[in-house]
Amino acid sequence: MNKKKIIIANWKMKLSFAESISLAKQYTELLNEGNAGDNDVVACVSTMALSSISEIFRSSFVKLGGQDVFWEEKGSYTGEISAPILEELGCSYVIVGHSERRQYLLENYQMIHQKVKSVLSTSQITPIVCIGENLKERDPDKRDYVITDQLQQALGGIKLLPKQEIIVAYEPVWEIGTGQAIQPDDAATMHKIINVALIDLLGIDVTKHQIRVVYGGSVTGENSSDFTKLDHVDGLLIGGASLKAEEFAKIVASN
Ligand code: PGA
């Protein structure tokens, strides 16, 4: 079954407030239903720019996403932001457990699990849950286990209501931001493993209808369709190339 593709931009912490506003305006000029094919399009922007960009995207077809979320709804959690607040700011999606947070902030899959649970139970936001092996785990004997284990820890026991969805983002950590994406054959193998693991974990119906699995890691205008044409690849998570509005719009239009 071919699912509707979702193309997700991750602007990380790469832009100032003014630059974020300007890029958001360029997105709305270049991306519309006429040229975006049948794709869903999401921009995950810095927390500080959410409320302003929410206004810019209001009449646009681009959806707004956060880059992180905390697992409690409210309380003494300095610096954190909850799913209901993200929703209030206009978010429809949020990235959970990006590898940069796992690396620099020691976020682990127990925390990621709590975050996914909280997003689903306290808001109507769709979590974009990141998984992916690092260079040490890359060995073909190890990586299947690593990926299956990450999925189990992040999503084990999660129950989705009929209208809810989860996006799983597979990003080989060693390829993020390098400009060198993995071979499409390799991605095909990993997405097949992920599909089997998801069926084991959540059942075939939920996996078919309520989960989309996207590929991320050095996706560009040149290589994007090498990935989206693969089985079990339902879209893309794009860092660097999403900062150039024209390149991002080209990726959206061509997939
Ligand atoms: P990249 O980043 O496209 O720059 O490799 C992807 C990501 O980290 O989400």
Q: Does pLDDT of 74 surpass 60?
A: yes
The per-residue pLDDT for range 238-248, each reduced to its tens digit, is 999 999 999 99
Q: Is 50 in the pocket of ligand 1 (CB under 6 A)?
A: no
| Residue 1 binned pLDDT confidence (cut-offs 50, 70, 90) | low
Listed range (140-144, 187-191, 219-223, 249-253) with the worst mean pLDDT: 140-144
The per-residue pLDDT for range 150-201, each reduced to its tens digit, is 999 999 999 999 999 999 999 998 888 888 888 999 999 999 999 999 999 9
**Percent of the chain clearing pLDDT 90 (strictly above):** 87
Q: Is 113 a catalytic residue?
A: no
DSSP codes joined into one string, the chain: -PPPPEEEEE-TT-S-HHHHHHHHHHHHHH--TTTSTT-EEEEE--GGGHHHHHHHHTTSSPEEEES---SSSSSS-TT---HHHHHHTT-SEEEES-HHHHHHS---HHHHHHHHHHHHHH-SPEEEEEE---GGG-SHHHHHHHHHHHHHHHHTT----TT--EEEEE--GGGTTSS-PPPHHHHHHHHHHHHHHHHHHH-HHHHHHHEEEEEESS--TTTHHHHHTSTT--EEEESGGGGSHHHHHHHHHT-
Name the more confident of 2 and 241. 241
Q: Is 132 in the pocket of ligand 1 (CB under 6 A)?
A: no
Q: Does pLDDT of 126 surpass 90?
A: yes
| Residue 139 binned pLDDT confidence (cut-offs 50, 70, 90) | confident
Q: Going by CA atoms, what residue is nearest to atom 1 of ligand 1?
A: 239
* pLDDT reported for residue 113: 98
CA of 243 to the centre of ligand 1 (A): 11
Listed range (112-121, 125-134, 139-148) with the worst mean pLDDT: 139-148
* pTM score, whole prediction: 0.97
Q: Is 98 a catalytic residue?
A: yes
For residue 175, which atom of ligand 1 is closest to its CA?
A: 5
Q: Is 218 in the pocket of ligand 1 (CB under 6 A)?
A: yes
Average of per-residue pLDDT values in the chain: 95
Q: Going by CA atoms, what residue is nearest to atom 9 of ligand 1?
A: 239
CA of 13 to the centre of ligand 1 (A): 12
Listed range (40-49, 140-149, 205-214, 236-245) with the worst mean pLDDT: 140-149
The per-residue pLDDT for range 10-69, each reduced to its tens digit, is 999 999 999 999 999 999 999 987 888 889 999 999 999 999 999 999 989 999 999 999
CA of 75 to the centre of ligand 1 (A): 32
